[in-house]
């Protein structure tokens, strides 16, 4: 990455989420002026616990509120937008689809429409989609030219997010790029239903970790710092030919079952005596997913820097610090 972020006016939606927190931290270190759209203040999140919120401008509001989104962009004269805000839990989407659609679909078109109305100042937009946008496919790994066909509420919401972004590029020429990642892990994820933070918390408490599925679902896991690097690269080129209007997969290209990732956490923590509890619940999830990152490597020069061992070491250290009540690592 060669572009300076000093003085850039950056809006991050979903700043209190794991990815948003680490992206804000990175941009603050690069002397960008960070504006955070925050729906709910949660002092347990990395954005607040680290004190990074004191170095950012806070706009209180929800993505579903068009006036709040437009106010954030207009009054703070935003030039770069990272749209990460969404309801991200598959199970929550299954239980409350309306809430997921409102946040993920309405929130996305509110954001894009606000950028369109202020296209004189907004020069780059990164839209966080997901591998879930592809839905179930007989052909793997996913490549960016494959159709998007989510089936269940969360998956459909990400398919819509992706297609809305493409619409605003194809129709209005918004300078945007789309990121599709697999399962993101790292410190700061407080959604304990997810396999990595949930397993770490259980093991730190000397409890048996829980697998809600049958443990056989295949996923790709990518460390948070690889993701923030990918988003910054996208933003730096969002207005350039070959990147603008394009979607990019970001992946380590290493597949693991849920049981394998749980065992990797157990190994890293030396807790192999605690056998998992397998609930074998039907969670309406895609059984197998994997991504090709060839396009990102070729066009953006992006390459994953963290293997599972290194990523888990940093992640486990963050949670040990978190539960130990000490100041978080950065």
109 catalytic? Reply is no
Give the chain's end-to-end CA distance (angstroms, integer). 20
Catalytic residue among 109, 134, 154, 306: 154
Q: Which residues are catalytic?
A: 154
């Amino acid at each position: 990455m060669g572009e300076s972020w000093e003085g850039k006016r950056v809006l991050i939606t979903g700043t209190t989420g794991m990815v948003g927190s680490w992206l804000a931290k990175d941009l603050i270190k690069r002397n960008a002026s960070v504006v955070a759209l925050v729906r709910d203040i949660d002092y347990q999140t990395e954005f607040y616990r680290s004190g990074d919120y004191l170095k950012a401008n806070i706009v209180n509001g929800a993505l579903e509120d068009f006036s709040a989104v437009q106010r954030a962009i207009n009054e703070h004269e935003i030039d770069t937008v990272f749209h990460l805000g969404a309801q991200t839990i598959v199970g929550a989407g299954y239980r409350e689809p309306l809430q997921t659609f409102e946040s993920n679909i309405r929130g996305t078109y509110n954001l894009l429409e606000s950028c369109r109305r202020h296209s004189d100042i907004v020069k780059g937009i990164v839209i966080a989609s997901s591998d879930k946008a592809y839905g179930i496919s007989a052909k793997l790994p996913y490549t960016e030219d494959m159709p998007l066909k989510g089936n269940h509420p969360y998956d459909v919401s990400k398919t819509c997010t992706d297609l809305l972004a493409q619409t605003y590029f194809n129709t209005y020429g918004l300078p945007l790029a789309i990121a599709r990642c697999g399962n993101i892990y790292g410190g700061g994820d407080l959604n304990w239903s997810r396999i990595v933070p949930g397993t770490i918390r259980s093991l730190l408490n000397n409890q048996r970790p829980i697998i809600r599925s049958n443990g056989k679902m295949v996923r790709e896991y990518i460390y948070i710092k690889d993701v923030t690097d990918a988003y910054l690269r996208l933003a730096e080129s969002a207005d350039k030919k070959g990147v603008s209007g394009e979607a990019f997969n970001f992946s380590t290209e290493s597949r693991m079952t849920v049981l394998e990732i749980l065992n990797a956490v157990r190994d890293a923590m030396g807790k192999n005596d605690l056998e998992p509890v397998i609930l074998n619940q039907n969670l309406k999830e895609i059984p197998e997913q994997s991504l090709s990152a060839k396009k990102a490597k070729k066009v953006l020069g992006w390459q994953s820097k963290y293997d599972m061992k290194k990523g888990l070491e940093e992640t486990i250290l963050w949670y040990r610090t978190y539960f130990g009540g000490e100041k978080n690592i950065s």
